[in-house]
Structure 1
Amino acid sequence: MSERRGSPSTDTDRPEDVAHRPGVLPTVRDVLRMPVMVQGRPEVLTAVESLDRPVRWVHVSDSMGAPDLLDGGELLLSTGAGWADDPDTLAAFVGRLASVPIAGLVLELGARFVTAPPTLVAACRFRGIPLIVLHRVVKFVAVTEAVHGRIIHEQTEALRVRDRLHDLFIGLSLRGSTPDYIVSQLAKVLRAPVVLEDLSHRVVAVETLDAGDEVLVGWESTSRSPQADWLVVPVEARGLRWGYLIALPGEPHTAGREQVMQQAAVALAIGRLADGDADEWTRRGQEQLLGDLLGARFASSAAVTARFEAAGLPIAGRGLIGVAVASATTDLPARLRAFASELGGPAIVAASSAGVTIAAISLPASTLLTDAVVDRAARGLAAGVPEAVVALGAVAQDVAGLLGSIQEAGELLRSTTSERGSGVRVLRVQRRPLLRLVTAFADDPRLQAHSERMLRPLIEYDLDHGGDLLEVLRAYVSFPGNRTKAASAGHLSRSVFYQRIALIEDLLDVDLDDGETVSALHAALLARRG
């Protein structure tokens, strides 16, 4: 991978560097607004566009040898008393000031010059040096006191802020804060969007603040091209680099944006060393992403689409499918990624509760997911595992459809968790038309009202008596017409199961031999989602 330009990873961090950081030092414009300078009626003659240069110090000199005494970044105050009259010598003097370079030149009009020499003005304009003339006399000592006082105050404040931020980020790392939380805190400190990406330019964590996730559109290609207005800091330790912190354009920070970024990068590196697992960041990032999708924690479809694509899951023009897998194996996420690769695309995987792992898989639009293809990939997923259940939702074309597909897969898996078996079982929602119908209308309040109305007596009975009538009914509707198999799925003896069914019929005042009633109850159970 090509090295990012402007990476500060090999820079030496010296305490005195604070004085050179934008946001810590006053600018030429700031100095001109100070009361002591306003009294001199300052007029900017050249390089107005450069008035935001930071002023590192103020130097007072009327000597032509002043450039030899400067280190760069100074605002030079002069009456011009010792300057030469020769235009070429004066132009050469300005050239030497530019080579230092100085922040700006202030000339007090009066005893030596009534107006700024044309040669001086032309040379400063050519060299891009802000030239300011003072139409009234001011005490240069008062100017230096005011500017130096502000510089020292702001440097002291910058050091205090840096100490507070050091405590913040080191505290986060020692408490084991997740990468997404550290990134979120960094973005709030900088008041700018921040992205943590891996070495493949896939987004691991992001905080976009008010900018929205649309800033991630086309992220990989944009990230691979040097961005002049981005601040990029590597996250590394012990000679191993894991990724990059990227801050998008924002306001200057008192402690220096780069310094803040480096402190956050150290916190992330400490956390990364503590995690040990090479896939930990990826796992956490993908769990957060799928959790946000399932919890509808996104502003728009465009925003969540950009987020998925930035994380390495292409959406546009692809076939998207949700998968849920139940198995006792500890390496299920890795197996699921291999399963997706066997089908022909990448996946974003996250483990959920009760030994269930979910995934979003992106496939080329032309992929044909025949039963033979899925079964072969599922056998590879379950190789060496006593039992595994793989549930697949419908193929979708956008993130809204992907959300439904994941929900379908999860519901399909839940509806069979009571069944026992061995080997690998593949469940496809195409074979469950009622489930697909209910999932499509899952958020419709009328469907929710139907579920509550039909199941309320059972819900209240289970709550009052610690009962299992809902689970018994779920087993019954899963095997209509076969009460023996339903009783086995419910882990009950036939006699106890029949007693539960009779109680359900009494509480609901229904006949469970009626097909339409069973279908309505089945839909109500599916809408309840557990």
Structure 2
Amino acid sequence: MPDRRAFGQDSTHRPGGERMLLPTVREILRMDPMADALPEVLAGEGGLDVLVRWVHVAETADVARLVSGGELLLATGLAWPRDARGLRSLGRELAEAEIAGLVLELGDRTPVAPRPLVDEFRDAGLPFIVLHREARFVAITEAVHARIIDDQTVALRARDEIRELFTGLSLRGSPADFIVAQAARALGCPVVLEDTGHQVLVAENVGEGEAELDRWEQRSRAAHRGAGEPGWTMTPVEARGMRWGHLVALPGEPHPAGRSSVLEQAAVALALSRLADRDDDEWIRRSHDALLAALLGRRFSRDGGMAARFEAAGFPVAGRVLAGVAVRSRTGRVEPGGAARAVEAATAAGAQAIAAAHPSSPGLLVLVVSARAGRPAADAVAEALASGDAAVVGVGSDAHGIPGLLASVEEAVELSGRGAGGRGRHAVVQRAESRPLLRLVTAFGDDPRLQEYSERMLRPLIEYDLANDGDLVEVLRAYLSHPGNRTRAAAASHLSRSVFYQRIALIEDLLSLDLDDGETVGALHAAVLARRVRG
């Protein structure tokens, strides 16, 4: 749920600041007009990467009152005090004025750098540089100012491009995940959209996500307090006094328009998208859809990365009992609010859950359930969901870790396809414990030997179906699901008994197998289950 923001609250929080498009003292020392004068750093080496806002020639002793901070001063020392006390006072005043550094050209009047002044700069950590050759101050200031002005022109052009990009996304009604993806592409770094509870809704450009999203809630809360996580840039997503979350850019290279400017434009587009959504839980629903689609589609290469994504979304994985639950609807589609009710049922059972419609089966609602050890909650969730528009509820085996969770979800999906539904308003609950062969098949997961076995056993039927737009694999599945009862198998295939018998005879002929043999039936059943679980 969004937070209502108090009037006057800061709109943007940027821990660690942001590097603007300005040259550093180090970069200026490398420019030809400066490098030709043989610069030497006598103090403040640690401050060479400070940004220089302007370059100014300053010879007077009271120059500190004429600057506003960030300037690199050029001097010959002609009007400086000659006594140690005056030089120390000058050094303290310049440090308090927060200049970027001081460059002294050595010459006849000032053959060496005044030691008291150098000591003051060293104590303050400010760069003190001497030039061993005569320098053209005009050439130095011209080169630096041209660089600053050129960079600012580039920045203005980049800001216009970013504004045009996100304005276009707003006008087209682009969804949140696409807006965040465009922000990540523009910045060339990971970008995360989190809700007000610091749960990740969208994460783009995070690679495997294991490092970027690990312990996200704790790290995000610390960053909002201004502690830790250097290089993060954060911008609130809000409109009309309502705050829905924050957009967070992780460390990356500077952007010509400014990292914060890019995020602010993206946040405006997200706020407009949020205002256009009638469903208050639209972002959460899309987030859960994407997570479960990635899990079921095996769109991850490391279990740790997938676990980090779930954890960042508020779904605990480590040290938890996990299970998959699948609910097949009587109406052939997941009813509006069905996912939210399923999550509420899990919460009431003392567990956490993520729910979404199956990406390839619109009438199937899939849940992943996480409970503390010793408090498995999948059965309680299933019983709570076995009413209303539910026809069949499949409950997968208890599991640990991402591979086990994936197998459990696949079991639940397969189980939800069995049976015609319960009587009255109560659904049939199918549990993996009653299907030992299914549990055996899913335990092998993506083992290539199992896939090869399934392909070898069923290849004649698959090729026949592809060539003739046939249904032999599904007819065989119905036959194996109702062993010894061909009448029920024919009904499950939506075929008359005579046509069903013809299909069975054709299957036996193509496979050169006897479907009345128990070992053959068991072998084919394992092959069919492996093919279905594999998707």
TM-score normalised by structure 1 residue count: 0.90
**Structure 1 contact 419–489 (Cα < 8 Å) conserved:** no
SS in 1 for 2:103: strand
Q: What's the offset of the Cα at 1:397?
A: 1.2
Q: What's the offset of the Cα at 1:120?
A: 1.0
**Structure 2 contact 12–234 (Cα < 8 Å) conserved:** no
Q: Residues of 2 paired with 1:331 and 1:484: CA distance?
A: 38
1:342 aligns with 2:348: yes
Q: Provide the residue aligned with 1:361 in structure 2.
A: 369
1:474 aligns with 2:477: yes
Q: Provide the residue aligned with 1:381 in structure 2.
A: 385
- Hey, which bits of structure 1, 4+ residues long, moved more than 4 A? 208-212, 418-422
Question: Aligned pair in 2 of structure 1 residues 21, 217: CA closer, same or farther (>3 Å)?
Answer: closer
Q: What's the offset of the Cα at 1:526?
A: 1.0
One-letter amino acid of the counterpart of residue 286, structure 1: H
The superposition leaves residues 124-160 of structure 1 with CA deviations (integer Å, 9 ceiling, x where unpaired) of 2222321111121111111111110000001101111
Q: Percent identity?
A: 55
**Structure 1 contact 320–395 (Cα < 8 Å) conserved:** yes
Q: Provide the residue aligned with 2:304 in structure 1.
A: 302
Question: Aligned pair in 2 of structure 1 residues 387, 216: CA closer, same or farther (>3 Å)?
Answer: closer
Question: Aligned pair in 2 of structure 1 residues 21, 204: CA closer, same or farther (>3 Å)?
Answer: closer
SS in 1 for 2:467: helix
Q: Provide the residue aligned with 1:501 in structure 2.
A: 504
1:438 aligns with 2:444: no
The counterpart of 1:273, out of the listed 246, 269, 275, is 275
The counterpart of 2:76, out of the listed 72, 76, 79, is 79
Q: Residues of 1 paired with 2:205 and 2:469: CA distance?
A: 46
The superposition leaves residues 248-276 of structure 1 with CA deviations (integer Å, 9 ceiling, x where unpaired) of 22233322222222222222222222233
RMSD of equivalent CA atoms? 2.6
**Structure 1 contact 442–448 (Cα < 8 Å) conserved:** no
**Structure 1 contact 314–362 (Cα < 8 Å) conserved:** yes
Q: Residues of 2 paired with 1:452 and 1:166: CA distance?
A: 53
TM-score normalised by structure 2 residue count: 0.89
**Structure 1 contact 338–381 (Cα < 8 Å) conserved:** no
One-letter amino acid of the counterpart of residue 246, structure 1: V
One-letter amino acid of the counterpart of residue 359, structure 1: L
One-letter amino acid of the counterpart of residue 253, structure 2: E
Q: Residues of 2 paired with 1:429 and 1:421: CA distance?
A: 21
The counterpart of 2:457, out of the listed 442, 454, 458, is 454
Q: Residues of 1 paired with 2:366 and 2:402: CA distance?
A: 15
**Structure 2 contact 180–191 (Cα < 8 Å) conserved:** yes
Q: What's the offset of the Cα at 1:342?
A: 3.3
Q: Provide the residue aligned with 1:351 in structure 2.
A: 357
Q: Matches of residues 42-81 of structure 1 in structure 2 within 5 Å?
A: 42-81=39-78
1:145 aligns with 2:153: no
Q: What's the offset of the Cα at 1:496?
A: 3.0
Q: Residues of 2 paired with 1:142 and 1:109: CA distance?
A: 17
Q: Residues of 2 paired with 1:84 and 1:117: CA distance?
A: 10
Q: Provide the residue aligned with 1:410 in structure 2.
A: 413
Q: What's the offset of the Cα at 1:393?
A: 0.8
Q: Provide the residue aligned with 1:118 in structure 2.
A: 115
Q: Residues of 2 paired with 1:150 and 1:132: CA distance?
A: 21
The counterpart of 2:525, out of the listed 505, 514, 522, is 522
Count of residues paired in the alignment: 514
One-letter amino acid of the counterpart of residue 360, structure 1: V
**Structure 2 contact 208–306 (Cα < 8 Å) conserved:** no
Q: What's the offset of the Cα at 1:10?
A: 5.6
Unaligned runs of 5+ in 1: 12-19
Q: Residues of 1 paired with 2:190 and 2:427: CA distance?
A: 45
One-letter amino acid of the counterpart of residue 349, structure 1: A
Q: Provide the residue aligned with 1:166 in structure 2.
A: 163
SS in 1 for 2:427: strand
One-letter amino acid of the counterpart of residue 124, structure 1: F
Question: Aligned pair in 2 of structure 1 residues 193, 351: CA closer, same or farther (>3 Å)?
Answer: same
1:203 aligns with 2:200: yes
Q: Residues of 2 paired with 1:41 and 1:516: CA distance?
A: 89
Q: What's the offset of the Cα at 1:377?
A: 4.0
Q: Residues of 2 paired with 1:250 and 1:211: CA distance?
A: 17
Q: Residues of 1 paired with 2:162 and 2:181: CA distance?
A: 14
Q: Residues of 1 paired with 2:18 and 2:257: CA distance?
A: 8
User: Which segment drifts farther, 160-169 or 41-50?
Assistant: 160-169
Question: Aligned pair in 2 of structure 1 residues 221, 392: CA closer, same or farther (>3 Å)?
Answer: same
Unaligned runs of 5+ in 2: none
**Structure 1 contact 187–209 (Cα < 8 Å) conserved:** no
Question: Aligned pair in 2 of structure 1 residues 387, 128: CA closer, same or farther (>3 Å)?
Answer: closer
One-letter amino acid of the counterpart of residue 71, structure 1: S
Q: What's the offset of the Cα at 1:401?
A: 0.5
Q: Residues of 2 paired with 1:214 and 1:130: CA distance?
A: 37
**Structure 1 contact 234–241 (Cα < 8 Å) conserved:** yes
The counterpart of 1:251, out of the listed 239, 250, 253, is 253
User: Which segment drifts farther, 425-434 or 288-297?
Assistant: 288-297
Q: What's the offset of the Cα at 1:527?
A: 1.5
Q: Matches of residues 100-139 of structure 1 in structure 2 within 5 Å?
A: 100-139=97-136
Q: Residues of 2 paired with 1:136 and 1:504: CA distance?
A: 95
Q: Residues of 1 paired with 2:253 and 2:477: CA distance?
A: 57
Question: Aligned pair in 2 of structure 1 residues 311, 453: CA closer, same or farther (>3 Å)?
Answer: same
Q: What's the offset of the Cα at 1:399?
A: 0.9
Question: Aligned pair in 2 of structure 1 residues 308, 169: CA closer, same or farther (>3 Å)?
Answer: same
Q: Provide the residue aligned with 2:29 in structure 1.
A: 32
Q: Residues of 1 paired with 2:116 and 2:297: CA distance?
A: 68
**Structure 2 contact 206–212 (Cα < 8 Å) conserved:** no
**Structure 1 contact 174–271 (Cα < 8 Å) conserved:** no
1:214 aligns with 2:217: no
